A and B are shown apart, each in its own frame.
Chain A
Amino acid sequence: MDGDWDEVARVPFPPPGVHALPTQVTTMTFDTTQELLWAGNDYGRVTSFLSTELQQHTSFKAHQAADGPVRQILVNSKGVVVLGSKDVHMAHRRGPPIWHLRHDDMKDLRCMSFTSKGTAEIIAAGLQDSMFVIDLIKGEVVKQVRTERQYSIMKRGRYICAATRNGSVDLLDPVTFAVVKTWNAHSALINDMDAQHDFIVTCGYSLRQGQNYMLDPFLNVFDIRKMASMPPIPFPAGAAYVRMHPRMLTTSIVVSQSGQMHVVDLMNPNTSNVRQANVLSYLSMFEIAPSGEAMALTDAECLIHLWGSPSKLHFVDLPTPVEFATPEEPIPQVDWTPESPLNSVGLPYYRQILASSWPELTSDVGAPPVKFDPQFLASLKPTDFALYGRNMRGVRRNQFEDTRSVHKSANSGLKAPKFLSEKARDLAKSESSSDKADELSNS
């Protein structure tokens, strides 16, 4: 962390309604290709914040508020993948949905990770006995993997590192998802974990005096090359959150709940760079941008703090431009009068079939209007604006009625004159089905 790092922005996560209070961030992640920070809340809402000012960009609901918090967000070139407890939602960065997956066996999903197939496939797991392998391009479950282990955090390093609820980390093979090694990192539970290159780092809790959960005053480190744990790195303030620095492969950043930040070289733990974040409450999360030039912290007061060097702050090194609404072109002035033809507004240039093209459907434009039964009309209450009452006509609301049928017109009493030949035919018909016809005309 350079000497001039400081807090550059601080924004509240927007509330779920106009008069509601702001909500806590339940998960956040920096985009890997655009200058965006993605954050989710307790109501299933995902919002993107734009670069240095954390200006709100797009926002959408990944799932219903009743389904609980947004658990995790991952990004790839096509869009953002949002994990809820009972579903997985994928959306464009601009907000419109791409697909939405729900499965009966998705009961309490907590975490997900990309697999051996780059960013085209994920595995989602949670406090449940099956994991889901999902193809992100098709938006389909490819495979369901039974598991006896339940996971709350996943990070993709050389292996898929999965933290269990009892303080251990499983190293999963990213192709077969078999457990390669289990590392007992903390005695009670793991609060945060990151994996990069050759290392896994964890912050966790242990049970003190048999009843109090206390943050361990050290960072635990696992060396993947040697498949062994390294000596813990002391952090007296209580290590709550940790991230590996994306550029400095042996450097990690550790943060306490009260905002103390240490930049530590795992290979040389005695030299550390210390900072203090200005928080009135306690920190609830911490992320570092892929460039290593920005950090985001969230606190219990629902604020997101952005840290970095005011002059150099950026999220990604070669960002693709964020897609905004197209700026409005100047519009030719049209004085609308009752005589102005609608074609004074031109149609843009087009090559495809227009949206207004109507399919070939037969349509009836001259059918006589529906005649209402006098009994029905009598049941209505007259007012000066309309007659009203219950729908007692035996048809659905807005139901189509064939007013051209002979039977109907016979009922209406308006009989068109008939030729002799027609009369003879009708007579023959009615004789063969006279009972039925009687029934109909009486009904």
Chain B
Amino acid sequence: ALNSELFRELENGRIARLMMKLGTINERQEFEGDRAWSENGERYMLKLFRDYVFHQVDSNGNPVMDIGHMIRCLNKLDAGVDERICLTSRDEQTSFVVSYKELKKQLANAFNELIKTAKPG
């Protein structure tokens, strides 16, 4: 019983770590004005991915709070699968077709950039 209880929660740490990585990266003030994060930069997709996972809406524009969707997306990012998703900008003008594999690479690049300049906390 204890084992099965533990097993149920085994994945939580992984998801928490992934969300922490995303949290350290997205919307950092230092990145404002950085070309890589601008609309034609290679990091722009990470911004749009955050919206894709956490800001899902229904056809009326009301928020959809589907934890299953959020975990599914995060798990696919964690594994870096070949599946492609369509990311759309807030003004609906830009649409990218991008794979989780590419997003995972972007996440690693952005996180490593932070680590390089980080002071051990």
Given A341-B8, A345-B71, verify A96-B96 contact (CB < 8 Å): yes
> Given contacts A100-B41, A355-B79, A361-B115, could you give 11 more A-B pairs where the C-beta distance is less than 8 Å?
A14-B93, A61-B40, A64-B39, A97-B42, A325-B85, A326-B83, A350-B80, A356-B14, A356-B15, A361-B121, A362-B121
A60 at the interface (CB under 8 A from B): yes
Within 8 A of B (CB), among A380-429: 400
Binary contact track B1-41/A, C-beta < 8 Å → 1, others 0: 00000011111101101101100000000000001001111
Asked if A59 and B93 make an inter-chain contact with CB atoms under 8 angstroms apart, the answer reads yes
Can you give 13 A-B contacts (C-beta < 8 A)?
A: A16-B93, A58-B97, A60-B40, A61-B39, A94-B97, A95-B97, A96-B102, A325-B84, A341-B8, A342-B12, A342-B67, A343-B8, A350-B78
Asked if B80 and A60 make an inter-chain contact with CB atoms under 8 angstroms apart, the answer reads no
Asked if B84 and A348 make an inter-chain contact with CB atoms under 8 angstroms apart, the answer reads no
A186 at the interface (CB under 8 A from B): no
Q: How far is the CB of A203 from chain B (nearest CB, A)?
A: 33
Binary contact track A302-336/B, C-beta < 8 Å → 1, others 0: 00000000000000000000011110000100101
Asked if B11 and A343 make an inter-chain contact with CB atoms under 8 angstroms apart, the answer reads yes
B76 at the interface (CB under 8 A from A): yes
Asked if A348 and B95 make an inter-chain contact with CB atoms under 8 angstroms apart, the answer reads no
| Chain A, Cβ-Cβ closest to B76 | A348
Within 8 A of B (CB), among A46-91: 57-64, 89
Q: How far is the CB of B45 from chain A (nearest CB, A)?
A: 6
Asked if B93 and A45 make an inter-chain contact with CB atoms under 8 angstroms apart, the answer reads yes
Which of A345, A354, A363 sits near B68, CB closer than 8 Å?
A345
* Residue of A57, A345, A356, A361 contacting most chain B CB atoms (<10 Å): A356
Which of B11, B14, B68 sits near A334, CB closer than 8 Å?
B68
Q: Which residues of B contact A64 (CB under 8 A)?
A: 38-40
A175 at the interface (CB under 8 A from B): no
Asked if B78 and A63 make an inter-chain contact with CB atoms under 8 angstroms apart, the answer reads no
B104 at the interface (CB under 8 A from A): yes
Q: Which residues of B contact A45 (CB under 8 A)?
A: 93
A4 at the interface (CB under 8 A from B): no
**Size band of the B side of the interface?**
35 or more
Within 8 A of A (CB), among B32-77: 35, 38-42, 44-45, 67-68, 71-72, 75-77
Q: Which residues of A contact B93 (CB under 8 A)?
A: 14, 16-17, 45, 59, 61
A210 at the interface (CB under 8 A from B): no
**In the complex, A343 Cα to B20 Cα: how many Å?**
18
Which of A18, A344, A346 sits near B91, CB closer than 8 Å?
A18
Which of A17, A58, A354 sits near B78, CB closer than 8 Å?
A354
Q: How far is the CB of B10 from chain A (nearest CB, A)?
A: 6
| Chain A, Cβ-Cβ closest to B5 | A341
Given A348-B79, A355-B21, verify A363-B11 contact (CB < 8 Å): no
**In the complex, A412 Cα to B102 Cα: how many Å?**
49
Asked if B120 and A361 make an inter-chain contact with CB atoms under 8 angstroms apart, the answer reads yes
A372 at the interface (CB under 8 A from B): no
**In the complex, A346 Cα to B72 Cα: how many Å?**
8
Main secondary structure of the interface of A (DSSP, over half): loop
**In the complex, A63 Cα to B86 Cα: how many Å?**
21
A438 at the interface (CB under 8 A from B): no
Which of B10, B41, B44, B97 sits near A325, CB closer than 8 Å?
B97
A432 at the interface (CB under 8 A from B): no
Q: Which residues of A contact B85 (CB under 8 A)?
A: 325-326
**In the complex, A331 Cα to B41 Cα: how many Å?**
33
Asked if B75 and A347 make an inter-chain contact with CB atoms under 8 angstroms apart, the answer reads yes
Q: Which residues of A contact B102 (CB under 8 A)?
A: 96
Q: Which residues of A contact B39 (CB under 8 A)?
A: 60-61, 64
Given A89-B40, A354-B14, A356-B21, verify A331-B68 contact (CB < 8 Å): yes
B117 at the interface (CB under 8 A from A): no
Q: Which residues of B contact A62 (CB under 8 A)?
A: 40
A268 at the interface (CB under 8 A from B): no
Asked if B76 and A100 make an inter-chain contact with CB atoms under 8 angstroms apart, the answer reads no
**In the complex, A358 Cα to B104 Cα: how many Å?**
14
Q: Which residues of A contact B38 (CB under 8 A)?
A: 64
**In the complex, A334 Cα to B66 Cα: how many Å?**
10
**In the complex, A405 Cα to B91 Cα: how many Å?**
48
Q: How far is the CB of B108 from chain A (nearest CB, A)?
A: 7
Q: Which residues of A contact B40 (CB under 8 A)?
A: 44, 60-64, 89, 97, 100
Within 8 A of A (CB), among B75-121: 75-86, 91-98, 102, 104, 107-108, 115, 118-121
Asked if A355 and B18 make an inter-chain contact with CB atoms under 8 angstroms apart, the answer reads yes
Q: Which residues of A contact B98 (CB under 8 A)?
A: 94-96
Q: Which residues of A contact B15 (CB under 8 A)?
A: 342, 356
| Chain A, Cβ-Cβ closest to B16 | A356
| Chain A, Cβ-Cβ closest to B87 | A95
